[in-house]
């Protein structure tokens, strides 16, 4: 059963390109509206559901209406559901031809992918005519117009969704959301400026334009007197540069402040930017809002944007939960939504299912959590992926894009920097350093050759630096451990590396994560290497510095002393 999807007949959305209002006819008949003007729910079974999936128009009278098939626009508001139609399949008339009533003004039609909702997940029709869950290795069958509906499958107890597939002349996907996700980079908060981030200012936008950006993210917050301004929820104010909530300040006060010395914009000025640059797309981040608060902000946005449907069609609205999506969409049916997973990876399956239910086109998550298996699962569902935030490192952004991610959110990486960094990150050679893990540790390493040298680092700990470049082929072992620490025994090594100017730790699932990211659900532990373990193959820059940090435990005798002493002290 497809839950939560509601349909509105085209007569109530007559402004759509190529739309032709029709009445329900024959066996396709179902009440399309109620006296209160609200849409009715989609039938739960017995139908083929055609989805345009980015189609620019639909020829109802020429194709669907002539065959007694109802044409709709979805009230879910997503671009995948802008064009949709129902084809009933019943026992008396189960043999019907599949048709294509969709058109795309810039792309060619490839066929349909067929999927069904089974319990709490979606399954796809494969080339061997079996139904399988989405994964990287399944070969989905492209169903073509002219095939008999009975060849696709049974609609007993469910519906079958036929999702149109489109390709631009260069071969890239032209499906729903491609307007945004053909952009490889997105300028975070309108882009970084003068080595600062979180601007949301016109100056940052203009600098991003100069450096070649075509896709921009902007934060929108609500003032105490209910005006939308371009800012994250908190902003630095006052002589002590404290962070205050925008929601606690009046519009007048917010507009008297600056962001990194630049004037703050309101949503009306943001609309002016969109109007001046009709070739560019923008993601709006309202952060987590629900209920009447969400509805108020969307009403304000519509007013500030002068109800300009062309400008609104170039927005990608980021939502955090199904509730937020429903509340936002109840006010205005935006064409494009993005579901933020963030670091809550336990929600991945539910997020994929809900996105397919309502036609959300993309998921967003932290780049370090976008493992190969996660990327495969999202792409197999036909969704786009945005990862955030590669702040400074163009080689990291390039590696993420090559892994299958569609767009990387960034503060300071420019298109030119990205092009120059192509292929720099990979299975490159690196150096291994050995960190004592405690400033009280003593080195017993031998320095007879010039291969090793000993330094005392800023923390006061010792570090042994090996000048040999490691092959990064998964065959080389670490040097024997030669640090000692009074009343402690060596427990193992933890591996760390600087990535995008932050310390990341090698985890048991093979990823590099910050300490905070290692705690996400489901959590993963920082991997503990034993003495003289093999160093695994990792993705890094040529000549990167990998640091093995010694981990210490109390000796058994000292541990017994601590056990007796600590309870008394408490």
DSSP 230-259: ES-SEEEETTTTEEEEGGGS-HHHHHHSEE
- What is the spatial distance between Cα 353 and Cα 187, in angstroms, rounded to a whole number? 28
Residue 65, both tokens: 């209406």
Nearest CA among 250, 341, 331, 342 for reference residue 293: 331
Q: What is the pLDDT of residue 82?
A: 59
3-state secondary structure of 455: strand
- pLDDT digit string (tens) for 8-63? 333 333 233 322 222 222 223 333 333 333 334 567 888 888 888 988 887 655 66
- What is the spatial distance between Cα 186 and Cα 208, in angstroms, rounded to a whole number? 10
**pTM for the complete prediction?**
0.88
Distance (Å) of CA 487 to CA 378, 441, 554, 561: 50, 10, 6, 11
- What is the spatial distance between Cα 261 and Cα 239, in angstroms, rounded to a whole number? 14
Phi, psi of 483, rounded to the nearest 5 degrees: -95, 150
- What is the spatial distance between Cα 352 and Cα 356, in angstroms, rounded to a whole number? 6
Q: What is the pLDDT of residue 72?
A: 55
Distance (Å) of CA 429 to CA 42, 60, 472, 474, 502: 57, 59, 5, 11, 20
Q: Point out which residues pair with 229 in neighbouring strands.
A: 221, 266
Q: What is the pLDDT of residue 20?
A: 24
Nearest CA among 554, 569, 562 for reference residue 438: 554
Q: Enumerate residue ranges in the chain where pLDDT < 50.
A: 1-40, 73-80, 569-570
Q: What is the pLDDT of residue 385?
A: 98
- What is the spatial distance between Cα 362 and Cα 378, in angstroms, rounded to a whole number? 9
Contact predicate 321/357, CB 8 Å: no
3-state secondary structure of 362: strand
- What is the spatial distance between Cα 18 and Cα 111, in angstroms, rounded to a whole number? 20
3-state secondary structure of 196: strand
- pLDDT digit string (tens) for 120-159? 899 999 999 999 998 888 999 999 999 988 888 888 888 9
Torsion, Cα of 439, 550, 433, 423 (10° steps): -130
Phi, psi of 159, rounded to the nearest 5 degrees: -120, 160
Q: What is the pLDDT of residue 62?
A: 64
Contact predicate 411/389, CB 8 Å: yes
> How many other CB atoms are there within 10 angstroms of residue 238's CB atom?
9
Q: What is the pLDDT of residue 335?
A: 87
Q: What is the pLDDT of residue 297?
A: 98
Q: What is the pLDDT of residue 466?
A: 97
Residue 12, both tokens: 């109530």
């Amino acid at each position: 059963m497809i839950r939560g999807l509601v349909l509105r007949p085209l007569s109530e959305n007559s402004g759509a390109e190529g739309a032709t209002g029709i009445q329900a006819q024959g066996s396709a008949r179902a009440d399309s509206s109620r006296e209160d003007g609200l849409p009715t729910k989609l039938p739960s079974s017995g139908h083929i559901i055609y989805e345009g999936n980015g189609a620019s128009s639909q020829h109802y009278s020429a194709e669907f209406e002539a065959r007694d098939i109802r044409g709709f626009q979805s009230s879910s508001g997503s671009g995948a559901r802008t064009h949709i139609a129902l084809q009933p399949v019943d026992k008396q008339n189960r043999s019907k031809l599949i048709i294509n009533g969709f058109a795309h003004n810039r792309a060619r039609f490839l066929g349909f992918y067929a999927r069904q909702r089974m319990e709490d997940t979606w399954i796809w029709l494969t080339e061997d005519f079996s139904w399988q869950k989405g994964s990287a290795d399944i070969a989905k069958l492209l169903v073509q117009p002219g095939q008999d509906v009975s060849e696709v499958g049974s609609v007993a107890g469910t519906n079958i969704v036929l999702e149109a597939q489109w390709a631009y002349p260069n071969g890239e996907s032209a499906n729903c959301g491609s307007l945004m996700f053909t952009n490889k980079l997105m300028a975070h908060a309108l882009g970084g400026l003068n080595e600062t981030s979180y601007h949301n200012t016109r100056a940052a936008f203009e600098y991003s334009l100069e450096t070649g950006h075509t896709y921009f993210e902007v934060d929108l917050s609500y003032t105490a007197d209910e005006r939308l301004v371009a800012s994250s929820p908190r902003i630095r104010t006052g002589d002590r540069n404290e962070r205050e909530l925008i929601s606690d300040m009046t519009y007048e006060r917010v507009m008297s402040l600056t962001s990194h010395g630049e004037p703050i914009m309101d949503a009306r000025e943001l609309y002016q930017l969109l109007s001046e640059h009709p070739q560019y797309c923008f993601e709006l981040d309202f952060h987590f809002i629900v209920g009447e608060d969400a509805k108020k902000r969307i009403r304000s946005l519509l007013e500030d944007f002068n109800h300009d449907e062309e400008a609104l069609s170039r927005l990608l609205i980021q939502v955090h939960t199904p509730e937020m999506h429903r509340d936002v969409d109840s006010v205005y049916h935006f064409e494009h939504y993005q579901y933020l997973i963030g670091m809550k990876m336990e929600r991945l399956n539910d997020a994929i299912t809900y996105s397919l239910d309502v036609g959300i086109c993309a998921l967003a998550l932290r780049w370090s959590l976008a493992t190969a298996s996660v990327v495969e699962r999202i792409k197999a569902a036909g969704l786009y992926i945005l990862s955030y935030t590669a702040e400074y490192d163009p080689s990291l952004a390039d590696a993420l894009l090559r892994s299958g991610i569609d767009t990387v959110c960034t503060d300071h990486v420019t298109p030119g920097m990205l092009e120059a960094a192509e292929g720099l990150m990979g299975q490159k050679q690196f150096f291994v350093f050995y960190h004592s893990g405690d400033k009280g540790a003593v080195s017993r390493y031998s320095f007879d050759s010039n291969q090793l040298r000993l330094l005392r680092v800023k923390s006061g700990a010792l570090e042994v630096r090996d000048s040999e470049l490691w092959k990064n082929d998964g065959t080389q072992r670490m040097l024997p451990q030669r640090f000692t620490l009074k009343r402690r025994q060596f427990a193992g090594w933890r591996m760390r590396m600087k990535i995008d100017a932050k310390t990341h730790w090698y985890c048991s699932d093979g990823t590099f994560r910050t300490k905070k990211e290692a705690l996400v659900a489901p959590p993963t532990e920082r991997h503990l290497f034993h003495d003289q373990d093999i160093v695994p193959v990792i993705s890094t820059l040529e000549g990167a510095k990998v640091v093995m940090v010694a981990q210490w435990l109390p000796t058994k005798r000292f541990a017994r002393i601590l056990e007796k002493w600590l309870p008394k002290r408490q």
